[in-house]
Amino acid sequence: MQQAFVRNLSEESRYNRYLSSIKQLSQSMLVRFTQLDYDREMALAMTREGDGGEEMLAVARFITDPDNEACEFALEVADDWQGRGIGTLLLQALFDAAREQGLKLMRGEVLAGNKGMLKLMHKLGFSVEPHPEDRALTLVLKTL
């Protein structure tokens, strides 16, 4: 289901999420995204029952830093479902899961041209600033 989800994303959505022009996940990426160490990682997916069976609409995930105080997050929403509140819903649930693990800070890297994601980051209370090492990226931070 994860592989089909990525394959069905538009080229722009795949590039915005993976910062490259992948067509599908490599075997090692697929394993990493589907076999989680729940002491350090969390993934929340939204699915629905479609004509061809269960279909993934979105997934939000985080991985905890070695200091166990901060984490890096990622979000991907199927193109047809963007702008409908799914990203907000999943990220709010992800914030709760991170807080339950005692994390204090969530951060991510967003392409500077990804206006939809940057708008969502502002809406959810992230600070948004230029990435100190790469002008093509924006650093987003949220105190939990």
Q: For 40, which DSSP code? A: T
Strand locations in 1-130 (E) = 41-50, 53-64, 70-77, 105-111, 127-130
- What H or E segment, with its residue span, contains residue 95? helix 86-100
Q: How far apart are CA 33 and CA 46, in angstroms?
A: 15
pLDDT at 105: 98
Angle at 38 between CA 32 and CA 40, to 5 degrees: 80
pLDDT at 139: 96
Q: How far apart are CA 93 and CA 112, in angstroms?
A: 25
pTM of the model: 0.84
pLDDT at 1: 77
pLDDT at 99: 97
- Counting as low any pLDDT under 70, the low residues of the chain are none
